[in-house]
Amino acid sequence: MKRFLTVAVAAAAALTLAACSGSPKATSSATTGVDPSGEIKPHAISWLLSRPADGAVVTIMQQLAGEYAQSHSGFSLNLITTPDRPSYIQKYETLAAANKLPELFDTDATPFAQKLASQGKMVDAQALLKSLGVYNQFRPGALNYQRFDDGSLYMIPFEYQPEFFWYNKDLFTKAGVQVPTSLDDLPQICAKLKAAGVTPIALDGQDQWPLERYIAYKPFRLAGPDYVTGLKKGDKQLSDSTGKAAAQWVSDLGSNGCFSSDFSSTGYADAQALFTSGKAAIYNIGTWELSSLATTKLSATVRDNVDFFTLPTVANAVTDPNEYVTSSGIGMAVNSKTYDPLVRDFLKFALGKFFTIAAQQGSLVPVTGVTTTVPDNATPLYKKALDAADHVGTKLVMPWDTQLDPTSNTRLQQELVLLAQGKTTTDQFIDTMDTAIKQNAPKYFG
């Protein structure tokens, strides 16, 4: 007993200490103007980002930082990249909680980012881009993708990536199927492709967001982009006709064998390999994979059989066929706490040059007036994809993983797998998700 009391007193003392040392503290919310006065004093800055280490953004930014440092001795740009998105989000949110975010950091327009913006922790990107004289160069769709619900803009896009359904013409012909004109055609097409002995759709289930795209498609066609805006706040429910249609469609995709039996544990590279090796007929992915799908890097046996179609529509659709997922990638936010004349000057320098270089290297860019160079090893499909990107409509499918509150989003990703596997019914799915959103949305949107 005495020993227990001693331990209890020690615990109480430590608790008191912990209380005094205080741990969580509300952070200050300093708002900084976009054109700070003062001298440009070169120093090292960092960019916490979630992009491929050998991708265009990292390599070009390294090159531009080197050029900038030649005229600004003492400047350096430390690029800290974590391409794996869940790991990145953990790092970014932990640093945000500790108020230790670097000068520049990547984020999607998530509810968490909106909280940071509302606390004045991010520089107003719209005001910044306008003050740098580059705002009007951006494609409206690329900026809209980065905006929060209230229309405010706190992230700068560096990419422009329409997402297509790449398909294997040869496998379609062998299975006797045509390109779907309606989303409702897809389950039947899958059944025929499966009967022909191929995996209908190559899906990276491990990363979860690719399957989450499928639940977003029907509501986008039936009710437009505002549906998810209402759903995430609890103003709309999946139990309405649109939500039921969406859940039923994903269920139908699963029951018609659209995805491989092990899709939930199939990774990004394996899903892509399924398609590029000619074992899967359809692959839904963005133009960031152009170099893998529309160049001579692709196996000669598959290369000439690859084509793409855009998101099929539905009867009585409220969005146009040329409106689909067109992401401008994860955006770059500017930390208002560390924003100074140097950061502004470097951004002015970098934004003035980045897009031209990226376009010369074959990347689609989020600005107009710059023509993307088609690489020498490209197939005709490359040019076709670039042309399609220039004709994307104004409404966008906003990926639901960037819209829902994170707890509901995690639950949705889990339940979607079960729905596609046929391990839960559409009614159970809808009930679970409506309950989850009702419980969690008020913490973010209340």
Partner 1 sequence: MLPRRSRLSVLVFLVPPLAVYGIAVLFPILQSLFLSFFQWDGTTAPKAIGVANYARMLGGDSVFWHAFGNNLLYVAISIVIQIGSALIVANLLLTLTRGHAVVKTLYLLPAVISTVAIAFLFQRIYSVQPEGLLNQLLQAVGLGHLQQPWLSNISTVLTAVSIPEGWRFTGLYMLILHAAFLAVPAELEEAARLDGASRWQVFRLIRFPYIRPVWITTLIMAMTYDLRGFDIPYLLTNGGPGQSSELLTTYMYKTAFTSTDYGYASAISVFIVVECLVAVGLIFLVLRRRDQS
Sign of the alpha-carbon torsion through 185, 198, 270, 285? negative
Please state, as a whole number, how many other Cβ atoms lie within 10 Å of the Cβ of residue 180: 20
CA distance 207 to 241: 28
The string of DSSP letters for 319-344 reads S-TT-S-EE--SEEEEBTTT--HHHH
Tell me which H or E stretch contains 307. strand 306-309
Q: Identify residues 383-412 at the interface with partner 1 (CB under 8 A).
A: 405-407, 410-411
- Shortest gap between Cβ of 446 and partner 1 (angstroms)? 12
Measure the CA angle with vertex 319, ends 318 and 325; round to 5°.
145
Sign of the alpha-carbon torsion through 197, 200, 204, 205? negative
- Shortest gap between Cβ of 15 and partner 1 (angstroms)? 6
Indicate whether 266 belongs to the interface with partner 1 (CB under 8 A).
Answer: yes
Indicate whether 274 belongs to the interface with partner 1 (CB under 8 A).
Answer: yes
Chosen residue from 158, 217, 227, 263 binding partner 1 by CB under 8 A:
263
Indicate whether 8 belongs to the interface with partner 1 (CB under 8 A).
Answer: no
Q: Residue 167 is encoded by which pair of tokens?
A: 């398909």
Indicate whether 97 belongs to the interface with partner 1 (CB under 8 A).
Answer: yes
Stretch of 201-209, 320-328, 368-376, 391-399 contacting partner 1, by CB under 8 A: 201-209
Specify whether the CB–CB gap between 419 and 429 falls below 8 A.
Answer: yes
CA distance 258 to 167: 13
Q: Identify residues 206-225 at the interface with partner 1 (CB under 8 A).
A: 206, 208
Indicate whether 15 belongs to the interface with partner 1 (CB under 8 A).
Answer: yes
Chosen residue from 6, 8, 9, 11 binding partner 1 by CB under 8 A:
11
What x/- string results for residues 144 through 183 when contact with partner 1 is judged by CB under 8 A?
Answer: ----------------------------------------
The label of the residue with tokens 């689609």 reads 364
Q: How far apart are the first and last CA of the chain?
A: 48
CA distance 201 to 229: 28
Considering the complex, state which of residue 1 and residue 26 has its C-beta at the smaller distance from partner 1: 26
Q: Identify residues 102-131 at the interface with partner 1 (CB under 8 A).
A: 112, 115-116, 119, 121
Residues that bind partner 1 (CB under 8 A): 11, 14-15, 18-19, 23-27, 86, 89-90, 93-94, 96-97, 112, 115-116, 119, 121, 199, 205-206, 208, 260-267, 270, 274, 279, 405-407, 410-411, 414-415, 417-418, 421, 423-424, 440, 443
